[in-house]
Amino acid sequence: VTSYMQKENWYYKYHFKKHDVTNVQSFFDRLSFKNTPNSGESDGEIYGAFEYRYDQSVFHEQLRLIRRKGNVREVVLDFVDGESIIDMKVSPNEKFIAVSISNEDENILKCVVVKPLKRKSLILQQPPHISSYEWLNNDTLLLVKNDLASNRDIELLQLSISSGKMTSLFKENDKRFSLNLSKSESGELVFLHSNSKDVSEIMIVRENELECLWSRSLQKYAHVDHINDTYYVYTIDNKDQEFCVQKKGINESSWQTFIRRSNTNSFLTNMVLDKWRGVITIEQENLIPKIKLNDFDANKQVEFEPMKTPGVLEILKQQNTDDGSILLSTTSPIRPLTHHNIEKNGQLLKDLKTDRAFEWDEDRFRYENIEIETEDGEKVPVSIFHKKDILLRDSPMLCHVYGAYGHQVEMSFNKSRGYLLENDWILMFPHVRGGGGLGRKWYNDGKLQKKKSTFMDLRASLRSLHNQNISNPSKTALYGKSAGALPIGWLLNQNAERYCKAVILQSPFVSILHAMLLENQQLTTFEYLEWGNPRENTTDYDYMKSYCPYFNMSVSKNDPAILVRTSLHDNHVPSWIPLQWVAKRRQLIQNGGYSANENPLFCQVDKKGGHYTQNDFHDVDNISFLERLSFEHH
């Protein structure tokens, strides 16, 4: 296997080593952020009397965690080369700091508990394989341990700092569920969430005991928070089966619906509590996110719309201040990350200057929402972004697709998208069934025995845009990552040359039947509610096999150019899945008598990094593939 990966990497490097990427790298450099005043230091986060920063300055190679109080600067923790910090949490009395650390392969190594001292911090504990943690009190740290074999977070541990004793409080035995911890907005409670894909159980964690707040017998997903002696839960509305907010007092027995979606075209996507502003909800209407402030009595609601296009809107909870203001971030394919502030007095929404070393005017670009009709009569929205002055039918187009888990296709700004837009590309985002942004029904209509609707939506979207003279098949490329590669893998077996000229598959989940048959494979049992269980259900087996890209693979002379990227240490889509798919495709190309020039196929295996690895190196390579090969071959 190692020899095969080396050959694939050599073959890729051989074909692309002479391609000039100077223009791409120069553009990326221009999109880099300015250094902060303290060179190498991150933005600060305030916990109690101290401001904490991550420092990677030119004076030392390793990352370190520092804190400041006035003019005093202390080094809290030095990291080993290759380690990175995930997050940190300070004990209520500020005497101890817990830091979660991962290595360069994204596998969580440990949670380090530190006691800061004037000269040198004292490392007290380093429990391994910790995925989440919260301070219960000054002396007690709660931790959730990850099981490496299944990649599930399965056990709740309680660590006493003074005695060093570790106690197991709970172990999740149902293979469909995974654990995580959260602290309430009130700061008074710690919750243990046990979630499957569709169902939650929530327990209040007290020292040496658990109290059930939300039973899995309710058969609904939920996320809970607490403030002012009241519980608030983000869950499924019994009335229309879409997300809503419910609440109940600490001494009440039943939940009452508190906030529903505004209309049939809008859907709640998140809930956050704020002691000053009440219940903050993010809602998408016609795919465009907006924020609503609802007071705790629901008598008053204020709405803000910081975006005019689909994209990502987030509440920067950790940065909220005690003056009642709320910090937000927004980004879209044509908007670099931008921060906003909703002030308490006047409730004004302001754009805050983002510390960028480049100028980017999103008004130079156009967003269009195009509704297309699928083979079964469904209406699917497609978002496209492009320069205002380009001729669409002659412009190259990159289509990003996902369509799984109820997650919306990722629509943020990055350097690759900025480069393509500047070079007259169209960015296309079909909102296919199985994905998010259009509610729970839209998600359910693209999973399990309805999964093929995701694939048909992608095909119909491409066909419709081409028929409307928006790019053309000879200038269209597709990009899919993880489960987003599945519909592209299916399309490659359906005369894909009619729809595209090039394909990029990142960590592609293209051998789905093999993966779902392996019960001991990481995440398999956790995924049964998304794809089905082919081990025990023959209907699931037959349906999955009918669309699995690996089992239905076919090649032809005019196939698109393909670049497959995977990481050796990917613990979500193991590298053997894309490698197996590539090896079979190479064999079919050889058996069909086609040449490598007729069927360009490249595979790059990253020996470092994991499922979520994304850096400039990958972005430059992707653009190099699109520019040099995909629109030059044949």
Helix/strand/coil percentages in the chain, nearest 5: 20, 35, 40
Mean pLDDT of the region 35-44: 53
What pLDDT, on the 0 to 100 scale, is given for residue 616? 45
Question: CB neighbours (10 Å) of residue 324?
Answer: 15
DSSP-assigned states of every residue in 408-453: PPP----HHHHHHHHTTPEEEEE--TTSSSS-HHHHHTTSGGGTHH
What pLDDT, on the 0 to 100 scale, is given for residue 319? 46
What pLDDT, on the 0 to 100 scale, is given for residue 76? 84
Residue pLDDT, tens place only, 583-631: 999 999 999 888 777 788 999 988 877 776 655 445 777 887 887 654 5
Distance CA(408)–CA(403), nearest Å, equals 7
User: With 50 as the cut, is the pLDDT of residue 289 above it?
Assistant: yes
Residues 6+ apart with CB under 8 A from 1: 576, 579
* pTM exceeds cut of 0.85: yes
**Residue 523 three-state SS:** coil
* Helix or strand (DSSP H, E) at 28: helix 22-30
> What residue segments make up the domains of the chain, in order of their start?
39-128, 388-631
Least confident range of 119-123, 140-144, 400-404, 420-424: 119-123
Least confident range of 10-24, 132-146, 252-266, 273-287: 10-24
Mean pLDDT of the region 531-539: 95
What pLDDT, on the 0 to 100 scale, is given for residue 41? 61
Higher pLDDT, 612 or 205: 205
What pLDDT, on the 0 to 100 scale, is given for residue 354? 59
User: With 90 as the cut, is the pLDDT of residue 385 above it?
Assistant: yes
- Please tell me the total number of residues recorded for the chain in this structure: 634
Second-level CATH architecture of 388-631: 3-Layer(aba) Sandwich (3.40)
Residue pLDDT, tens place only, 159-199: 999 999 999 999 999 988 999 999 999 999 999 999 998 89
Mean pLDDT of the region 556-583: 89
Least confident range of 179-183, 348-352, 355-359, 492-496: 355-359
Residues 6+ apart with CB under 8 A from 569: 105, 106, 107, 608, 609, 610
What pLDDT, on the 0 to 100 scale, is given for residue 34? 45
Asked whether the beta carbons of 465 and 401 are under 8 A apart, the reply is no
> Residue 436's pLDDT band (boundaries 50, 70, 90)?
confident
Distance CA(57)–CA(276), nearest Å, equals 37
* Closest to 240 measured CA to CA, from 434, 444, 431, 439: 439
Question: CB neighbours (10 Å) of residue 550?
Answer: 19
